[in-house]
Structure 1
Amino acid sequence: MMDVLKGSCHCGAAGWTLAGDPGPVTACNCTLCRRYGALWAYDFENERAAVHGPVSRFCRVGKVDPALEILFCPQCAAVIAWRGLRLEADGRRRMAVNVRLAPPDAVANLPIDHFDGLDSFEDLPASGRTVHDLWA
């Protein structure tokens, strides 16, 4: 049986599930992610990752053709996930869930990858830190 990681917003109205090993999570420094403080685990919509409950959507202001939308709880405003607005070549839709909404013990040992979404749009060198290191 595959393990399922779960996360929920502060008020409990919305959340997500991610089946199987989430792998490393990503900390991005783009203008959205750094303000939200999110840590992302990736998959595809309605495959291993699913969002449940009511969500509102936000697309980046000023983008003519935004690539993704942020999903958040309309009651407590917790950032639940992001969802790609363009389908992949195989017809699947990329998404990521915010692992900061999971119980700390469930995600403590996940390694953190860093991504420069602000300037270079490239992966940054690994630091060896885990989610636990952020909360310790």
Structure 2
Amino acid sequence: MAEPILGHIGRRTFYLGEFGNGSRMKFVANLLVSVHTLAAAEAHRLGAASGLDPEVVQEVIGAGVGSSKIFDIRGPMMASGTYEPPSARLAIIRKDSEIIAAHARAVGALTPLLDAALPQYRAAMDRGLGDLDAAVLHRHLAETSP
């Protein structure tokens, strides 16, 4: 019934069964967004700390097996240090990550990577970075590294 309408909203539609499964699938997808965003920031930070040109890091990693859609989307922002306009604000990803973590606990799913990422999201929020793109985690890591 809704499929013809949904076909105009997204590239693909999937039937996921019972009511609520769409939200649960979004939790799964957004867990990856959260963790991959921090992983991309960490990789770019390691490259910069190692003396590598951020644009070259983006090009080389983007062409290899270590890349991801998130690296392709947020990596250029990290390489340039430009976090506006946001495609997804840090505050939204942090909020979603908190909800996902609560859901994971409720269903008994271990999420060690999300659990490790959340303190960085919270700390970046505490530093007032919430309105910028989540790629700003790269700047947060750079500014808080010892």
Say which structure, 1 or 2, has more relative contact order (CA 8 Å, 6+ apart).
2
- Between structures 1 and 2, the one with greater helix share: 2
TM-score range, shorter chain: under 0.3
- Between structures 1 and 2, the one with greater strand share: 1
